[in-house]
Chains A and B, each alone.
Chain A
Amino acid sequence: MSGLDCFVLTGGTIHDPAHRRDGVVDDIWIEAGRIVARPEDPTRFPRIDARGLVVMPGGVDLHSHVAGPKVNAGRRIAPHLARARPAAVPTIQATGALYAALGYTTVFDAAIATGAADIAHAELGELPILDKGIYLLAADDAAVLDALCRDDARETERLVGAAIAAGRGWAVKVANPGGPAFWKHGRRGDHHDLDTRLPERSITPRQILERLARAVQSIGLPHALHVHTANLGLPGNWRTLLETMRTFDGVPAHLAHVQFHSYTGGELDPDTFGSGVAPLADWFNAHDNLTLDVGQILFGDTVAMTGDSAAAEHLAHATGTPWMSHDLHLEGGCGVLPISYREKSLVHAWQWAIGLEWFLTATDPWRIVLSTDHPNGAHFTAYPVLMRLLGDEAFRREAFARIHPAVRKHSPLAGITREYTLQELCIVTRAAPARIAGLTTKGHLGVGADADITLYRPDPDLARMFSMPAKVFKAGVLVAEDGEPKSLPVGKTLSALGPDGVRSDAAG
């Protein structure tokens, strides 16, 4: 079956939010790796019976960490987690096979230094099945920072465009804007707002964000500036995220792993560590230039890895965990450490509740993406559990009853009864991330789309349903069936610009 050039999936229950198909029973026609209109001669299309199965586009992970030097460091740092099944940070082949077995067919690595792009692509060249792309940490380059300091928009666009073209990147990521400059000049811990000037430079983090977002918009990259803002993980950082959102003032921007940036506490909040989601969600819901992914944490062991070395150091000190740091000759770096999220930990329980609160109070599912910031918040293979937490209020309430009592007492999550529908789960795992990433041929099942299709068996237990698709097709090839890989084709590398700096076909 996997070798068929054309076939038709018959009688499936289709969830295709981009075309407003919500549980419609219909056929999907596939030829040469794409979805096509019903042909004039349907007899040459072998039939695959999809009756009784839920049909969705292949999953798109907009924010994950699957390749590059920091991921390799994560594979090495904790041998006990490497021997787990699945490994906390799987090998590149296991990564592709596990994603595909889950029904995902596209992944983006969200933080690659421009100097590490080549080796990341070499590794991603061995990632089976999935189409893949990388976000480049172009704002860490000294020359880009110089141009941003001068507010030289043209030079900034030229340099960023050149980095994206040469590094075959899909988007520009900024991790802790200006943070590495503070970090590398020994001034850690004083980067508490967006308006502190960088050491030895006449620019603030807020100006970096403003100017960089405009540059990305002017270049015409398919995905808006991907923002990991300052003060990740610090008590009171909800104010930083709110200021970050205000900064963009109508310019498109994507806010990464907002769960890690939504904490009250610290000097300015009268109470202790808690949720700052309510004012943030209010702002977010009212400003449609913004999109976000959540970075949900789920309880268990994992490995944290980030291009934000200062955040990794803070976490290492907070947990007493040994960590690794690697600085580059550019301005970037990375930090890696093992971490265990526990239900009875006050902080971890708040993190868990804050992520869910984001999911359940953001009103427009088209602007929010399901993620765990793999592996930072949890392994991507835990996505089905997260989907059940969103779609099954009783299950969520059971889990809520197990967490730290202070969080049960104070978290707004206690009063939230919303449940995601299948259609909404389809949006936040497929349609929205594809649209937000600027992937015109993914995340939907319309004519011309890539034939990346997942068939699930309906099940009231959503975790069971989403953990083992009946069939997964990638570009029309059967790649997984009942959780088992069936073939390991090599997917496409998604590059936003060709070598000449012109927007590539892959961008759609």
Chain B
Amino acid sequence: MSTAPIAAAASRLTAASRVLVTGFVDVPLAAVTVACDVAEVLGAAVDAGSPEMDRAAGPTIARVGEVTAAWEEMRDRADLVIFWFCDPDPVHPGFTRQFVTPAPVPPRARRTVSIGPVSAPMPATCHRHLSLARAAAVDAARAIHLMLLGGEPPELDGALANACDSLRAAIDAASCVAFVTDDTADPLGLEAWSLVHLVRAISHRKPAFEIPLAARSAADAAAVCTWRYGGAGAIARADRGGAEFLPGEASALKLIERGEVDCVLAVGRLAAPLARAIAARGDGLAVIHVDDPTAAALSTHLEYLRAAVTDRLQPAAGRGRP
């Protein structure tokens, strides 16, 4: 491979005041680890751009109490799939075809329900759309939760009441319930929190779990960041000896929007909000994009970049060569 682009990238990275290493959407684990190595050499921030990391309390309130499962678990066992204010195919093309359309293990048959402003593209014979505005998501989750607990149903307007009644009936009739979510447009994390409680309440009675689509797309980055730095993202300074996890402060979006970084190392695909935020910064933000359709090549590019950066910053270390 040509060394000139690597040298140029290393030059930009090492000249920057503060670097953010981000991207990571669908980037394999091996490449994530090398990208984090680069971040450690640079003392850079690391975050994959998950909306959860933009919320100061998001990671806690969204994840505590969460019941999740593998997509295959849903495919094989769920006889009710609820698209919770989520149209999955734009987030993960092919998701419904591969994991929702196939029949579950007999004798179960699957029904699907979309609740929210948009319906998932499912055959009408076994699908129902309960149309609700996004703003009603928290109220809907709480109302259904209350209904399941046997409490007094809250006062609801007609559309919301009808949707909650219908969904509660569908849940009552099911033996295994999956909620598909996409974790977008939830600035406070209350949607995630209320849904976690609903899923947990159902799971006390029958198998129930959430399939959070957006979280999975950068799952390997979250895993590596957690075992190295103790948090799934929003790592203010990559350091295995003691990093700080600052959700709502060191998230990729906040760092870019606040102008706290002057250089971004984007590894693989960027989450859409990040791409927009970077574009909004214009020329004030240097962006180095490392990508390759093959996982091995992506790792190799990053290995070379790590070597080049290390040679510039730690020439005496003698550990730069891949």
How far does the Cβ of A466 sit from chain B's closest Cβ, in whole Å?
Answer: 25
Q: Assess whether B206 is in contact with A186, with CB atoms less than 8 Å apart.
A: yes
Cα separation A186 to B228 with both chains bound (whole Å): 36
Interface flag for A126 (CB, 8 Å): yes
* Complex interface: chain B residues within 8 A of A399 (CB): none
Interfacial chain B residues near A71, Cβ < 8 Å: 227
Query: With A76-B59, A79-B60, A119-B29 given, is the CB distance from A92 to B65 under 8 Å?
Result: no
Within 8 A of B (CB), among A79-131: 79, 82, 87, 91-93, 119, 122-123, 126
A380: interface (CB < 8 Å): no
Instruction: State whether A324 and B59 are in contact (beta carbons under 8 Å apart), knowing that A67-B227, A93-B240, A186-B206 are contacts in the complex.
Output: no
In the complex, the answer to whether A325 meets B203 with C-beta atoms within 8 Å is: yes
CB-CB under 8 A from A75, the residues of chain B are 226-227, 230-231
Min CB distance A119 to B, Å, is: 6
Chain A residues 138-189 with CB under 8 Å of chain B are 184-186
CB distance from B43 to the nearest CB of A (A): 16
**Which of A77, A87, A122, A328 lies in contact with B29, CB distance below 8 A?**
A122
From A92, A323, A327, A328, B227 is in contact (CB under 8 Å) with: A92
Report if A328-B70 is in contact (Cβ < 8 Å); known contacts: A122-B29, A186-B206, A323-B65.
yes
Identify which of A87, A185, A325, A328 gathers the most chain B CB atoms within 10 Å of its CB.
A325
A93-B241, A326-B69, A328-B70 known; A82+B230 contact, CB < 8 A: yes
* Complexed CA–CA distance, A123 and B70 (Å): 20
| CB of A184, distance to nearest CB on chain B (Å) | 6
Residue numbers in A under 8 Å from B66 (CB-CB): 324-325
- Complex CA–CA separation, A79 to B58 (angstroms): 12
* Contact pick for B68, options A67, A82, A123, A326, CB 8 Å: A326
- What residue of chain B has the Cβ atom nearest to residue A485's Cβ? B241
Query: Within 8 Å of chain B (Cβ to Cβ): is A266?
Result: no
Q: Are A91 and B73 in contact (CB under 8 A)?
A: no
Question: With a CB–CB cut-off of 8 A, which chain A residues contact B63?
Answer: 76-77, 324
Task: Indicate which residue in B72, B207, B229, B245 contacts A329 across the interface (CB closer than 8 Å).
Answer: B72
Contacting pair B230 A91 (CB below 8 A) = yes
Q: Which residues of the partner chain B approach A329 to less than 8 Å between Cβ atoms? A: 69-73, 76
Kindly state the separation between the CA atoms of A75 and B209 in the bound complex, as whole angstroms: 21
A92 near B228 with CB under 8 A, answer yes
Interface size class of B (residues with CB under 8 A): 35 or more
A69 within 8 A of B: yes
Q: Shortest Cβ distance from A206 into chain B, in angstroms? A: 25
- What's the minimum C-beta distance from B175 to chain A, rounded to whole angstroms? 7
Q: Within 8 Å of chain A (Cβ to Cβ): is B297? A: no
- Shortest Cβ distance from residue B74 to the other chain A in the assembled complex, whole angstroms: 9
- Nearest CB of B to A319, in Å: 13
Q: How many positions in chain A have a CB within 8 Å of any CB in the partner chain?
A: 28
Q: Is the CB of A91 within 8 A of B232?
A: no
CB <8 Å contact, B228 and A76 = no
Measured CA separation A92–B66 after assembly (Å): 24
Distance A71 CA – B227 CA, assembled complex (angstroms): 8
Flag whether B64 is at the interface (Cβ < 8 A).
yes
Mark each residue of chain B from 10 to 54: 1 if its CB lies under 8 Å from any CB of chain A, else 0. Answer: 000000000000000000011001000000000000000000000
Is B229 touching A91 in the complex (CB atoms < 8 A)? yes
In the complex, whether B146 has a CB less than 8 A from a CB of chain A is no
Most chain A beta carbons < 10 A, residue from B77, B175, B206, B240: B240
For A328, give the chain B residue with the smallest CB separation: B70
Residue B223 interfacial (CB < 8 Å): yes
CA distance A200 to B30 in the complex (A): 40
The smallest beta-carbon distance between A142 and chain B, in angstroms, is: 10
A91 to B240, alpha carbons, bound, how many Å? 8
Contact present for B69 and A328 (CB under 8 Å): yes
In the complex, B201 has a CB within 8 A of chain A = no
User: How many Å from the CB of A311 to the closest CB on chain B?
Assistant: 15
CA A82 to CA B245, docked complex, whole Å: 10
Interface assignment of A279: CB less than 8 Å from any CB of chain B: no
- Asked if A300 lies at the interface with its beta carbon under 8 angstroms from chain B, I say no
Q: B232 to A76, Cβ gap below 8 A? A: yes
Complex Cα distance A75/B77, Å? 29
Q: How far is the CB of A113 from chain B (nearest CB, A)?
A: 10
Minimum CB–CB distance for A247 against chain B, Å: 29
Interface residues of A in 55-85 (CB under 8 A from B): 67, 69, 71-72, 75-77, 79, 82
Q: Does B285 contact A (CB under 8 A)?
A: no
B228 surroundings in chain A (CB, below 8 A)? 91-93, 126
> Closest CB of chain B to A334's CB: distance in Å?
11
Q: Would you list 22 pairs from A and B whose C-beta atoms are within 8 A, ordered by A residue?
A: A72-B226, A76-B59, A76-B63, A82-B230, A92-B227, A122-B29, A126-B228, A126-B240, A184-B77, A185-B207, A324-B66, A325-B66, A325-B203, A327-B69, A327-B70, A327-B209, A328-B70, A328-B73, A329-B70, A329-B72, A329-B73, A329-B76
- Could you list 9 further interchain pairs (A-B, Cβ under 8 angstroms) beyond the known A76-B226, A327-B209? A79-B245, A92-B228, A93-B240, A119-B223, A186-B206, A325-B67, A327-B67, A327-B73, A329-B72
